Amino acid sequence: MSGNLVETLIGAMVLVVAGFFLYFAYDKADIGAVEGYTLTAKFDKVDGVKVGSDIMLAGIKVGTVMEQTLDAVEYLAVLKLSLSSDIKLPDDSAVKVASDGLLGGKYLSIDPGGSEAYLEAGDEIRFTQGAVDLTELIGKAIYSSGSGGGANKAE
């Protein structure tokens, strides 16, 4: 009987330690939404960007992707972005889908503009660049540099 009690106590300790590690990982991962204001942006392609993806400015996380929808009229991906309230973006800023290396995750990168007018909550970022499909680029490079597959006829 005392063996079952010891096993139960050890199991409880393991669960408490696992819970501590999960809390620590969540706290340090900075996964939560950024408190601030929301903007929207329309992209032709957002492959790899998910709800919760980071929004980076000069390599620093300044926001989070909050929502993804499809504009059924223009067939564009519409992203709702949450940006930190202390970041003021000029209204001619651009947003592009970027990648963490060859196999890394996707995130949004902001290139601030030079305008003196700033985007307000609820505004739309007009200048966007969608995701680049690496396999498509590699395929184009391979087929365009080859001989075209035809035999060279010399007569």
* pLDDT single digits (tens) 43-56: 998 888 899 888 99
Residues 133-142 have a mean pLDDT of: 80
In tens, the pLDDT along 62-120 reads: 999 999 999 999 999 999 999 998 989 999 999 999 888 777 788 999 999 898 999 99
Sign for the pseudo-dihedral over CA of 7, 11, 12, 13: positive
Of 36, 29, 24, nearest to 62 (Cα)? Answer: 36
Residues 126-154 have a mean pLDDT of: 73
Q: Where are the domains of the chain?
A: 1-30, 33-131
Per-residue pLDDT band at 39 (split at 50, 70, 90): very high
- Report d(CA 27, CA 29) in Å as an integer: 6
